[in-house]
Amino acid sequence: MLLFLSVIENQAVRNQLESIYIRYAKELIFVSHGILQDYHEAEDIVQTAMIKVSDYIDETTDAESKSIRGLLVIIVRRLSYDVYNQRRRRNESNVDDFRDTLGDVHTASPELNILKMEDRRYVADLMAKINESYMDILTLKYIYEYSDKEIGELLNMTEGNVRTKLSRARKACQKIIGGDDSEE
C-alpha cells in the first residue's frame, strides 16, 4: 500500500485510489513537473490530488475512466500553479522559466478526449482561445457536473470565487463565439 493512502479510512476507496495512482501517477507527475520543475514537489502535488478526489471515488469507480484521468490532470495542474505562485511570491522562481513551460502544459488536453468526434475541432479552437483556468472550471462544472461547492473544495477556492470564475468563463466563451450576453 502507498503510505499517503493510509489517511483514507474506507478500504474499498483506498484500493480504488491505489489502482488509479498506479495507472496515472507518471503522467500526473509529468504534468506537475512541467510547471514546477521539481520532481519531489510534483510527487507531493499528485499525492495531494489523490487525497482530494478520494471523496468522489467509491468501489464502483472505473480506474480506466478518462473522466478520472481528466479530473486528476485538472486538479494536479491547479495545485501545481498554486505552489508555483506561492513560490513566485517568495521570489524563489524566475518568471521566464514558467513561460517556457506553458507550452508543454497546453499540448495535452484530456478534456478533448471526452467530446464528440464532430465537435472536437471547433471546441479545440475555442479552448485554445480561453484562459486555462476558465477551461478547467468549465470542464469541472459542465463535463464532470460538479457543484460549485465541490469545485471549490477541489481547487481550493470559495464558492463565491467559483461562481465568479464561472461567470467570467461563460462571458469569455460568449465573446469568442460572438454570442449574446445572456447567461447559459
Task: Residue 166: give its domain's CATH number.
Answer: 1.10.10.10
Residue 141: CB atoms within 10 A of its CB come to 19
Q: Which residue has the higher pLDDT, 125 or 69?
A: 69
**Claim to verify: residue 99 and residue 142 sit in the same structural domain:** no
**Claim to verify: residue 150 and residue 179 sit in the same structural domain:** yes
**Claim to verify: residue 24 and residue 91 sit in the same structural domain:** yes
- Written as one letter, the residue type at 98 is F
pLDDT band at 122 (very low <50, low <70, confident <90, very high): low
**Claim to verify: residue 93 and residue 138 sit in the same structural domain:** no
Helix (H, G, I), strand (E, B) or coil at 11: helix
Q: Please tell me the total count of domains within the chain.
A: 2
Q: Which residue has the cell 507527475?
A: 29
**Claim to verify: residue 11 and residue 61 sit in the same structural domain:** yes
Whether 158 has a pLDDT exceeding 50, the answer reads: yes
Whether 22 has a pLDDT exceeding 60, the answer reads: yes
Residue 87: CB atoms within 10 A of its CB come to 15
**Claim to verify: residue 4 and residue 47 sit in the same structural domain:** yes
**Claim to verify: residue 13 and residue 79 sit in the same structural domain:** yes
Whole-number Å distance between alpha carbons of 89 and 112 = 33
Lowest mean pLDDT among 51-55, 116-120, 161-165: 116-120
The parent domain of residue 167 ranges over: 109-184
Judge contact between 93 and 125, C-beta under 8 A: no
Q: What is the pLDDT of residues 95-117, one digit of tens each?
A: 444 444 444 444 444 444 444 44
Q: Which residue has the higher pLDDT, 50 or 63?
A: 50
In this prediction, residue 112 carries a pLDDT of: 44
Name, in order, each residue with C-beta under 8 angstroms of 27's C-beta and a sequence gap of 6 or more. Answer: 69, 73
Interior angle at CA 148, CA 183 and CA 160, nearest 5: 80
Residue 170: CB atoms within 10 A of its CB come to 20
**Claim to verify: residue 40 and residue 131 sit in the same structural domain:** no
**Claim to verify: residue 5 and residue 93 sit in the same structural domain:** yes
Judge contact between 98 and 86, C-beta under 8 A: no
In this prediction, residue 120 carries a pLDDT of: 56
**Claim to verify: residue 99 and residue 132 sit in the same structural domain:** no
Single residue among 49, 77, 106 that ends a domain in this structure? 106
**Claim to verify: residue 19 and residue 44 sit in the same structural domain:** yes
pTM, entire model = 0.59
Cα→Cα distances 158→30, 152, 164, Å: 28, 5, 10
**Claim to verify: residue 167 and residue 115 sit in the same structural domain:** yes
Residue 83: CB atoms within 10 A of its CB come to 20
* C-alpha of 61 from chain center: 18
